[in-house]
């Protein structure tokens, strides 16, 4: 019995068939990681583009419709309507708007306030209507689930308690006189 095992092991050691398995086993995970990272980056870029477009279109609408006093929910609905691709935008988008001084500019002081679905719901944060000829900054924060949360770029994102990633877009405008 031991002679058969020894001869089998000698024959196994001498044969060179199947040597490509090692290279294949090392290369395939790398290729799949690169593929998943490229897909994640592509979808992230599309989402960011749609969020930027939605915010810019909503700000343009607010800027051109002078005399209208838009509420937080009106602007949020406009951003979601114009962005299109963002899934569950109504519940995962948070807006902040505040007046800023053009002479001593200071943007938003804190990190963006996004929705963390694992925590209690917080009321909308800073949303101040501006006066005539006042420079206003609007920041939109959208949180989403990565496509591949455990591999590639999806694993390296900073996530909240629910595993969501935040994406931020900002825009500025001047309140026109009515």
Per-residue pLDDT of the chain (178 residues; tens, 9 = 90+): 788 888 887 876 776 665 666 677 788 888 998 999 999 999 999 999 999 999 999 998 888 876 677 888 888 999 999 998 888 898 889 888 888 877 777 777 677 777 655 444 344 455 666 666 778 888 899 999 998 888 888 888 888 888 888 899 999 888 666 6
Task: State the pTM of this model.
Answer: 0.76
Q: Are 89 and 79 in contact (CB under 8 A)?
A: yes
Q: What is the pLDDT of residue 121?
A: 39
Dihedral class, residue 133 (left if φ above 0, else alpha if ψ from -120 to 50, else beta):
left
What's the CA gap between 164 and 114, in Å, rounded?
10
Helices (H), 15-97: 20-64, 72-83, 89-92
Nearest Cα to 54, choosing from 6, 90, 7? 90
Q: Are 147 and 118 in contact (CB under 8 A)?
A: no
Q: What are phi and psi of 128, to 5 degrees?
A: -115, 125
What's the CA gap between 56 and 76, in Å, rounded?
12
Q: Are 38 and 147 in contact (CB under 8 A)?
A: no
Question: How many residues does the structure list for the chain?
Answer: 178
Question: Which residues touch 157 (CB under 8 Å, ≥6 apart)?
Answer: 146, 165
What's the CA gap between 9 and 11, in Å, rounded?
5
Please list, residue by residue across 31-54, b when 16 or more beta carbons sit within 10 angstroms of its beta carbon and e when fewer do.
eeeeebbeebeebbeebeebbbbb
């Amino acid at each position: 019995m031991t002679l058969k095992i020894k001869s089998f092991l000698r024959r196994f050691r001498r044969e060179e068939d199947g040597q490509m398995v090692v290279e294949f086993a090392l290369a395939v995970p790398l290729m799949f990681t690169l593929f998943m990272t490229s897909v994640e980056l592509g979808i992230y870029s599309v989402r960011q583009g749609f969020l930027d477009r939605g915010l810019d279109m909503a700000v343009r609408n607010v800027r051109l419709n002078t005399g209208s006093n838009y509420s937080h929910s009106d602007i949020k609905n406009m951003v979601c309507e114009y962005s299109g691709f963002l899934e569950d935008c109504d519940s995962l988008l948070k807006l902040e708007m505040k007046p800023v001084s053009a002479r001593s500019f200071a943007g938003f002081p804190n990190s963006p306030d996004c929705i963390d679905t694992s925590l209690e719901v917080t009321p909308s944060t800073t949303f101040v209507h501006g006066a005539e000829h006042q420079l206003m900054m609007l920041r939109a924060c959208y949180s989403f689930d990565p496509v591949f949360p455990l591999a590639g770029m999806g694993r390296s994102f900073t996530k909240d308690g629910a595993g969501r990633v935040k994406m931020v877009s900002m825009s500025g405008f001047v309140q026109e006189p009515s």
